[in-house]
């Protein structure tokens, strides 16, 4: 709204005619859709709908947001309670590829009750069907999108959760020469993919509990299964309570986007400028390569992580570089 241009007579005379001609054009059809959701109460302001100065930096707490908390609660209530469908909040271009980001009007603390989970699943399903009507290739927000593939076997779009690339990013961030890795944490789809990739690379993965070893072992076949080891050694409790100088502390698996990516001026959550999460990059690479298979669900075989990693590098994405340490692994 160029208010001051209109007041002082400095506005372009063809602005109105240009606006009217743009309205007559057909709706832009994206080749890939990134489906995401709010991560916290303050993340509302991190969208393009919020503050440009805030979204241009990684997500963090700001003193003025505390003062705005009553307003934030009202906005959050309206957005999460009365919005019944996803909406486009960002449009990007990558070469000849048109990318859209759709927002689920919910954030993580709303995932607790079964009724709320069903509501979110309905939103995801609606978003996927809307994408199919536009004849586009879509991207799922989590690893359980297999239910939509089974429910709609004739889907034209491809659902991608990006697990393979996320696993590849983690594996390639481990220093060269590493012989053993201690695995601790919840056995998610990404964690399983990382363990499998490490075992296939000849790195021994140590687990502390028998049930974890059994859960992981059934997904690993061949000679590489011997690289999954149930250890009896005593290890300190994880996560560590204090930072150590001889350790790496990584953020969300992510990659640096190419210079050819346009209109990307907002930070993605807590990542830096022009840094994109591996899950989102995985969907873009899937569209760039024109792959026809889905990558979603826990029981569906994943795309080969090395294959996705090589495709990402070939399309100009770069790994985040961390400082090396002179330590023995």
In a domain, residue 113? The reply is yes
Q: Do residues 189 and 309 share a domain? A: no
Q: Do residues 157 and 204 share a domain? A: no
In a domain, residue 171? The reply is no
**Does residue 12 surpass a pLDDT of 60?**
yes
**Does residue 251 surpass a pLDDT of 90?**
no
In a domain, residue 97? The reply is yes
In a domain, residue 81? The reply is yes
Q: Do residues 45 and 148 share a domain? A: yes
The dihedrals phi and psi of 144, each to the nearest 5 degrees, come to -110, 25
Q: Do residues 60 and 201 share a domain? A: no
The dihedrals phi and psi of 106, each to the nearest 5 degrees, come to -140, 160
Q: Is 285 within 8 Å of 261 (Cβ atoms)?
A: no
d(CA 287, CA 282) in angstroms, rounded, equals 9
In a domain, residue 9? The reply is no
Q: Do residues 59 and 123 share a domain? A: yes
Q: Do residues 157 and 184 share a domain? A: no
Q: Which residue has the tokens 């990013």?
A: 169
For a pLDDT cut of 70, what percent of the chain falls above it?
80
Band of pLDDT at residue 107, cut at 50, 70 and 90: low
| Number of domains comprising the chain | 2
Would you state the pLDDT for residue 315? 94
Band of pLDDT at residue 112, cut at 50, 70 and 90: very low
The SS3 assignment for 125 reads: helix
pLDDT per position as a tens digit, 143-158: 457 777 777 888 888 8
Q: Could you tell me which residue, 172 or 3, shows the higher pLDDT?
A: 172
Q: Do residues 305 and 158 share a domain? A: yes
**Does residue 17 surpass a pLDDT of 60?**
yes
Q: Do residues 186 and 264 share a domain? A: no
Q: Do residues 154 and 182 share a domain? A: no
Q: Do residues 148 and 79 share a domain? A: yes
Q: Do residues 148 and 275 share a domain? A: yes
Which of 109-118, 213-222, 233-242 has the least mean pLDDT? Answer: 109-118
Domain that holds residue 149: 28-162+250-323
**Does residue 243 surpass a pLDDT of 80?**
no
Would you state the pLDDT for residue 289? 92
Q: Could you tell me which residue, 68 or 245, shows the higher pLDDT?
A: 68
In a domain, residue 38? The reply is yes
In a domain, residue 16? The reply is no
Helices (H), the chain: 3-8, 15-23, 52-55, 63-67, 69-82, 114-133, 146-151, 163-173, 189-200, 210-217, 278-289, 305-314
In a domain, residue 239? The reply is no
Q: Do residues 306 and 263 share a domain? A: yes
Q: Could you tell me which residue, 166 or 235, shows the higher pLDDT?
A: 166
Alpha-carbon dihedral 135, 137, 142, 147, rounded to 10 degrees:
50
């Amino acid at each position: 709204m160029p208010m001051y241009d209109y007041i002082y007579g400095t506005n372009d005379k063809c602005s109105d005619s240009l606006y009217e001609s743009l309205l007559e054009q057909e709706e832009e059809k994206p080749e890939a859709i990134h489906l995401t959701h709010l991560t916290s109460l303050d993340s509302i302001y991190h969208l393009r709908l919020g503050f440009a100065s805030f979204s241009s930096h990684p997500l963090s707490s700001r003193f003025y947001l505390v003062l705005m908390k009553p307003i934030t609660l009202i906005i959050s209530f309206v957005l999460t309670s009365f919005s019944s469908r996803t909406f486009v909040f960002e449009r990007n271009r990558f070469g000849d590829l048109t990318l859209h980001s759709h927002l689920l009007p919910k954030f993580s603390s709303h995932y607790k009750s079964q009724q709320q989970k069903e509501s979110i699943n309905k939103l995801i399903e609606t978003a996927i069907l809307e994408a199919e009507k536009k004849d586009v290739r879509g991207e799922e927000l989590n690893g359980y999108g297999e239910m939509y593939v089974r429910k709609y076997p004739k889907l034209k779009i491809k659902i991608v959760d990006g697990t393979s690339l996320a696993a590849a990013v983690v594996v390639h961030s481990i220093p060269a020469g590493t012989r053993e890795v201690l695995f601790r944490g919840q056995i998610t789809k990404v964690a399983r993919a990382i363990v499998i990739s490490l075992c296939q690379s000849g790195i021994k993965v140590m687990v502390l509990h028998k049930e974890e070893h059994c859960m992981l072992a059934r997904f690993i076949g061949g000679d590489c299964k011997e690289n999954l080891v149930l250890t009896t050694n005593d290890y300190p409790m994880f996560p560590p309570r204090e930072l150590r100088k001889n350790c790496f502390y990584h953020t969300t698996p992510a990659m640096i986007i190419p210079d050819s990516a346009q209109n990307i001026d907002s930070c993605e959550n807590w990542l830096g400028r022009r840094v994109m999460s591996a899950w989102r990059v995985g969907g873009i690479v899937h569209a760039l390569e024109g792959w026809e298979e889905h990558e979603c669900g826990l029981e569906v075989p994943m795309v080969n992580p090395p294959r996705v990693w090589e495709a990402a590098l070939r399309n100009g994405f770069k790994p985040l570089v961390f400082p090396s340490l002179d330590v023995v692994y």
